[in-house]
Amino acid sequence: MRIAQVAPLWERVPPPAYGGTELVVAHLANELTRRGHDVTLFATADSKTLAKLEPGAPQPMRLAGVTPVEYQLYDLMQLTRVVQQADQFDVIHFHVDASALPYGNLLKTPVVHTIHGILTPTAAELFAQNRHQNFVSISDSQRRNDLGLNYVATVYNGIDPATYEFHPQPDEPPYLAFFGRISPEKGPHLAIELAKRTGWRLIMAGKVDRADQAFYESEVKPLIDGKQIVYVGEANHAQKSEIMGRAVATLCLLTWEEPFGLVMPESMVCGTPVIAMARGSAPELIAHGKTGFLCHSMDECIAALDRIGDIDRKACREHVEQNFSHIRMVEGYEAVYYQLMEKRFAQNGKLQRSKLTSEPVI
């Protein structure tokens, strides 16, 4: 198949540090290329990919410090290039949420949108107006069934287990880990509260977006002492694997309905169980009592620490390998692409699926 992958321009693909969507797109583009598909990636010029690269911006817009208006212009220019080349593709896969919806109505080429985030009220209205287009959710809990969207599948995000080191035992002296954006919804302040109440050492890593700077300055930074509460900044992939892998547990004390939360499988694949608030996708990602604990209060999170030694760290890794690998994700998206192609060609009476192969026969 000839497949276009359209990534956001906010981060590089793959991201050098934090960036869940961009990491997912990187795995998807590379593995589809390895499988023999003709893949074109629309992303920033410094992106690293096995696919053909169509640059949409000279560098990640986050690093360039552009205004929202400037970002919108780059986004529109990239989407215009996608439309201009649309007849060169069998499927166009958008990862840019609402901005691509008007373009989907203009294209004869089958289009699918993966919704990577939470829909704001304004975005929800726009999605509802385009409910007939094809959508993929990244967890069942993320779905907005009240909007009547045409969901064609749920495909869980995937990571490459081979790129994460497995740690059969945590470090001594023990510590807890927090990874993610330093923002209210990710719960870094709650992770600190848990550490303070229990006396555990906490190592934190994550970026601080401009929108969250005030929260960081008032709620997080004053509590960082460099001893019990340690903040290492925005960690790269190697640091992430090392710090999470050596921790007793990773804390995901969510205050919102997390659409996926890549840090949860990333932690588990390193062998480190996750203690999470049972919100959003967490119950779909964590096997309660086997790869971590799903909690409903701070007291439950604290109690889970007493049981964390019961978790088999090897079982954590196996859980991710079986359910949240990049291979499993790509297989899910391939099935979506073939479904969309069959639908299009069936209308013209030109395509039938062989009973002996997953390849379409035209």
- Please report the pLDDT score of residue 95 as a whole number: 98
Considering the domain architecture, whether residues 252 and 143 belong to the same structural domain is answered as no
3-state secondary structure 96-128: CHHHHHHHHCCCCCCEEEEECCCCCHHHHHHHH
Rounded to the nearest integer, the mean pLDDT of the chain is 93
The SS3 of residue 42 is strand
Full residue range of the structural domain in which residue 351 is found: 2-158+325-361
The domain tally of the chain equals 2
Lowest model confidence (mean pLDDT) among 13-27, 40-54, 133-147, 194-208? 13-27
CB hemisphere CA count around 88 (13 angstroms)? 11
Q: Is the pLDDT of residue 9 over 50?
A: yes
- Please, are residues 271 and 249 in contact by the beta-carbon 8 Å criterion? no
Stretch 83-112: mean pLDDT, rounded?
95
Token digits of residue 327 = 């291979």
Stretch 33-55: mean pLDDT, rounded?
97
Considering the domain architecture, whether residues 55 and 128 belong to the same structural domain is answered as yes
Considering the domain architecture, whether residues 138 and 167 belong to the same structural domain is answered as no
- Please report the pLDDT score of residue 34 as a whole number: 97
Considering the domain architecture, whether residues 304 and 227 belong to the same structural domain is answered as yes
21 to each of 94, 142, 187, 317, 346, how far by Cα in Å? 11, 15, 20, 22, 32
Which pTM was predicted? 0.91
Considering the domain architecture, whether residues 226 and 79 belong to the same structural domain is answered as no
Considering the domain architecture, whether residues 195 and 304 belong to the same structural domain is answered as yes
- Please report the pLDDT score of residue 66 as a whole number: 84
Considering the domain architecture, whether residues 309 and 340 belong to the same structural domain is answered as no
Considering the domain architecture, whether residues 221 and 140 belong to the same structural domain is answered as no
- Please report the pLDDT score of residue 345 as a whole number: 75
Considering the domain architecture, whether residues 194 and 210 belong to the same structural domain is answered as yes
- Please report the pLDDT score of residue 19 as a whole number: 72
- Please report the pLDDT score of residue 349 as a whole number: 58
* Confidence at 356, pLDDT banded by 50, 70, 90: very low
Considering the domain architecture, whether residues 315 and 341 belong to the same structural domain is answered as no
For residue 280, the domain's CATH number is 3.40.50.2000
Any bridge partners for residue 205, and if so which? 179
Considering the domain architecture, whether residues 125 and 170 belong to the same structural domain is answered as no
Condensed to tens digits (0 to 9), the pLDDT of residues 223-264 reads 999 999 999 999 888 898 999 999 999 999 999 999 999 999
Q: Is the pLDDT of residue 359 over 60?
A: no
Considering the domain architecture, whether residues 170 and 301 belong to the same structural domain is answered as yes
Q: Is the pLDDT of residue 360 over 60?
A: no
